[in-house]
């Protein structure tokens, strides 16, 4: 391939810029021309192409968000939309595409490959909800952002001897909630992967903790379970302990990527370009046991990863 494109799609994630940089510079190193496509699949449909050189990706490695911008594009879920996109790419002479995004974006990437535009997906989402990869770009940064926020909430909760219920992102997955609950010493992580009993899993640890001399309590709730405001009210009513709910929101998606995410993005970007250089499309790049690998898109999407029981239960055990 002589000419490829790169776009970011779906929710942005810290480290997407590091991936764009890696794709551009690896492609240039291989002697390929590379075009950045703005605003995800919407930009592909509307011909929003920008030719990239080595300097186009200067000073972006450390920045959150995506310099190419992203979008959610319903038109692309229709076959006609995908066909139109392939025609636009052909007219521009684009022979292959790298899509940085989540599972929705990968379904689009598969459709493009089937319609004749070889496309490789790189997992970029804070949710870590792509089954075939141990980690997604942005997950580690989001964990650190949430960790900073919860540490601050703990300061004030301790000063007022309060309980705090903190709702974190993750869409249908509880990875962010389960990991930060351990890292921040919460009493419990309430996640979609594990059913919970309000009295046993939330009230009891708070009441027992108070008897053992605890002066603050943290409960982390994944947005996939939700209801943090109501939970806080119920905790206060049942225990008499003043309780506040905080929904962290989009702060979790921003910020400078961690070293872990910069490394992952840089490695995955190079691997994606290597695949296209060899004429291979319809793949998802993944990391398994610290090795960069790739899977057929449909197979990769069908793979399930289950959260280890020890991680799901760690917060409750260690908050003794």
Closest to ligand ADP by CB, 73 or 190: 73
Question: What are the catalytic residues?
Answer: 127
- 64 binding ligand ADP? (CB under 6 A): no
Q: Which of 125, 133, 136, 164 binds ligand ADP (CB under 6 A)?
A: 125
- 223 binding ligand ADP? (CB under 6 A): no
Closest to ligand F6P by CB, 27 or 221: 221
What is the closest distance, in whole angstroms, from the C-beta atom of residue 277 to ligand F6P in the complex? 30
Burial of 25 (0-12, 13-18, 19+ CB in 10 A): buried
Q: What DSSP string runs through 17-83?
A: HHHHHHHHHHHHHTT-EEEEETTHHHHHHTT-EEEE-GGGGTT-TT-SS-TT-----GGGGSHHHHH
Q: Which residues contact 5 (CB under 8 A, 6 or more apart)?
A: 34, 35, 36, 37, 44, 49, 89, 92, 94, 96, 97, 98
Helix/strand/coil for 300: helix
Closest to ligand ADP by CB, 98 or 157: 98
Applying CB under 6 A, the span of 98-106, 176-184, 194-202, 286-294 interacting with ligand ADP comes to 98-106
Q: How many CB atoms are closer than 10 A to CB 80? A: 9
Closest to ligand F6P by CB, 140 or 223: 223
Applying CB under 6 A, the span of 3-11, 16-24, 134-142, 251-259 interacting with ligand ADP comes to 3-11
What angle in degrees, to the nearest 10, is found between the helix axes of 175-183 and 139-160?
A: 50
- By CB under 6 A, the count of residues binding ligand ADP is 17
* Dist CA 170 CA 168 (whole Å): 7
* Dist CA 101 CA 12 (whole Å): 8
Closest to ligand ADP by CB, 11 or 118: 11
The residue ranges that bind ligand F6P (CB under 6 A) are: 11, 102, 125-127, 169-171, 223, 253
- 105 binding ligand ADP? (CB under 6 A): yes
What is the closest distance, in whole angstroms, from the C-beta atom of residue 130 to ligand ADP in the complex? 9
Q: What DSSP string runs through 275-290?
A: HHHTT--SEEEEEETT
- 295 binding ligand ADP? (CB under 6 A): no
- 111 binding ligand ADP? (CB under 6 A): yes
- 15 binding ligand ADP? (CB under 6 A): no
Closest to ligand F6P by CB, 142 or 297: 142
| Cα 49 → chain centroid | 25
Helix/strand/coil for 5: strand
What is the closest distance, in whole angstroms, from the C-beta atom of residue 128 to ligand F6P in the complex? 10
Cα dihedral sign, 181-245-229-199: positive
Residue 107 interacts, among ligand F6P, ligand ADP, none and using kind-specific CB cut-offs from 5 to 8 Å, with: ligand ADP
Longest CA span, the chain: 71
Q: Which of 76, 139, 179, 277 binds ligand ADP (CB under 6 A)?
A: 76
- 107 binding ligand ADP? (CB under 6 A): yes
Q: Which residue has the tokens 């810290």?
A: 14
What is the closest distance, in whole angstroms, from the C-beta atom of residue 308 to ligand ADP in the complex? 24
Shortest Cβ contact with ligand ADP: which residue? 104
Positions that interact with ligand ADP (CB under 6 A): 9-11, 41, 72-73, 76-77, 101-105, 107-108, 111, 125
């Amino acid at each position: 391939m002589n000419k490829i494109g790169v776009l970011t799609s779906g929710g942005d994630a810290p480290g997407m810029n590091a991936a764009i940089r890696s794709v551009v510079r690896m492609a240039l190193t291989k002697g390929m021309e590379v075009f950045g496509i703005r605003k995800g699949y919407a930009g592909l449909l509307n011909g929003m192409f920008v030719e990239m050189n080595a300097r186009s990706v200067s000073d972006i490695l450390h920045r959150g968000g995506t310099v190419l911008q992203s979008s959610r594009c319903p038109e692309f879920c229709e076959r006609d939309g995908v066909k139109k996109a392939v025609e636009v790419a052909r007219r521009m002479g684009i022979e292959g595409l790298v899509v940085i995004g989540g599972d929705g974006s990968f379904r689009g990437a598969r459709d493009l490959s089937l319609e004749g535009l070889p496309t490789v997906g790189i997992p970029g989402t804070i949710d870590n909800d792509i089954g075939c990869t141990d980690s997604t770009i942005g997950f580690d940064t989001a964990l650190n952002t949430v960790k900073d926020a919860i540490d601050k909430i703990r300061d004030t909760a301790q000063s007022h001897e309060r309980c705090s219920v903190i709702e974190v992102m993750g869409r249908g997955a509880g990875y962010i909630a389960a990991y930060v609950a351990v890292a921040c010493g919460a009493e419990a992580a309430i996640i979609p992967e594990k059913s919970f009993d309000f009295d046993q899993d939330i009230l009891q640890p708070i009441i027992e903790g108070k008897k053992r001399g605890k002066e603050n309590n943290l409960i982390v709730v994944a947005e996939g379970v939700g209801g943090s405001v109501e939970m806080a009210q119920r905790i206060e009513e049942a225990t008499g302990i003043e309780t506040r709910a905080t929904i962290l929101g989009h702060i979790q998606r921003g910020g400078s990527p961690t070293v872990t995410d910069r490394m992952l993005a840089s490695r995955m970007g190079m691997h994606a370009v290597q695949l296209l250089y060899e004429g291979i499309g319809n793949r998802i790049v993944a990391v398994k046991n610290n090795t960069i690998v790739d899977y057929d898109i449909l197979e990769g999407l069908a793979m399930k990863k289950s959260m280890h029981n020890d991680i799901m239960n760690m917060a409750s055990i260690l908050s003794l």
